Amino acid sequence: MNRFMSFVTTAALLATLQAGAQMQLPGEQSSGMPAVPGPLAAKYKTDADRILTAAMADNDGYAALTYLCDHIGKRVSGSPQLNTAIEWGAELMKKAGLQNVKVQPVMVPHWVRGSESGEILTSGKGAVKKPLHMLGLGMSVGTPKEGITAQVVFVPSFQALDELTPEQVKGKIVLFNPGWHGYGVNSQYRTAGPSRAASKGAVAVLVRSATGLAMQTPHTGTLRYDEKQPKVPAAAVSVEDALMIERLAAEGPVQVHLQMDAHMEADVKAGNVMGEIVGSEHPEQVVVLGGHIDSWDVGQGAQDDGSGIMATFEAVSLIHKLGLKPKRTIRIVFWVNEENGGAGGRAYREMIGDKIGDQVAAFEMDGGAEKPLGIGYGGFGGPRRPAPPAPGAPAVAPPARGALDMTTLSAEEKQSFVYMQDIAALLKPIGTDTVSPGGGGSDIGPITADGVPALSPRTVGLHYFDWHHTEADTLDKVDPDDFKRNTAMLSVVAYVLADMDGRLVGRKSTFRE
């Protein structure tokens, strides 16, 4: 999840909007684009201050997150825990007084990890016998019952793999260790690596975990098999173990044993959980916000994405508690199956059907509840994740978010940035009054691809990729004050978007999960 953005100063943005010139944003180290108060800020200041005060004093959202993590826990698609969470989520919305609470039925895949282990057996200088810190990749097939014992072929990139002959790879285990170049690059080896290696005859794949933190903590995540290639078992290994295998491979042949019971079972009925504050004047028009209720089968799914669904839920609940009546409907959704399939986002798009024009804005929180900086506005479309590279192509970083050619924007799109800047000015009391191009998420991708304006929080992003998809994704990683600030920011933005006279605009794009 490439959530990091570069920013511009307010003066630069306003000058660009007026001149229609190209805006090239500075690097990621810049502090942000502070908002300037305008007509919307003046109109909604009283309501926004009420929301911010209530949110910073609120403990209900964090209490709900605590229950979700400690009493329900990990919620992988197809598991009983996921459906327990779905039932609990619907009841939570009803108790909060939300309207039209329902669970939209969605069939989800049921991948089962089973037992798994890995071990270095020998190297060029003799026996090593070291257990691997590993986690099978989501949706991976398993090994034979006796496991796979084979020599490792170390490759630092897809290009290096392509330069090997099939004879050099056949019957071996390929280890991808590209170093750490950010999640957008490294996750491509996880998603596409197994099939790329299988096309050359590999019998299994190991991938360096997609993180910059070396703490012997492996990170799982989904892979995507190319149906034209054999399906081989694949696992992530810790940064330390990947580096050790790399060193040993430089000395001579390295042999690894891998055993995985991973397998697929029949699809399971689950669902998207949703509730509403029905609009007072335009109930058919909807501002939707939420996150994904499923998680991986490790940790508690606290930051990914328990914090997202609970912060967005409490943001909507606070609006209801304060008796605010927006003109448009605000809908909270806990989407299902984001981690290994995206079935919830697709089902939501199917439910909307030809009423897509009534989706006023979509706000997804799926980047953790670290200290928030402001809002990313993705009114210009595009997927959150890069597409897997084509066969033979190197892994590349996703296009930099932060370079915006304002000359390509319509007057309505430029006005939308002014709206968002004005709304963000209301958030100055909690220090989240920045706006940046970019935003969205995979759950809302199917609707934002059809032109619905996309938004998402921007946080400091210091540790999210240290924790997510690991056993370390637990409640203690979510700071209560940071959580409250995220909730406050979400609540103000959702309320104003649902009540203001104008609307944001978006662009159609090609959605890829």
Name 487's Cβ contacts closer than 8 Å, sequence gap at least 6.
Answer: 55, 58, 61, 311, 314, 315, 318
Hey, what are 279's tokens? 């609009």
Hey, what are 100's tokens? 């039209």
Give Cα 29 to chain centroid, integer Å. Answer: 22
* Beta strands 454-459; 372-377: pairing state: antiparallel
Q: Is 338 a catalytic residue?
A: yes
H-assigned helices in 384-463: 411-425, 445-448
Residue with tokens 């300037």: 36
* CB 275 within 8 Å of CB 100: yes
H-assigned helices in 272-410: 307-321, 343-352
* Beta strands 282-292; 359-364: pairing state: parallel
Hey, what are 85's tokens? 């969470």
Q: Which of 116, 276, 338, 513 is catalytic?
A: 338
- Region class of 189: left (phi > 0), else alpha (psi between -120 and 50), else beta: alpha
Q: How far is CA 247 from CA 27, 236, 371, in A?
A: 34, 18, 38
Helix, strand or coil, per DSSP, at residue 461: coil
Task: Give the residue numbers marked as catalytic.
Answer: 338
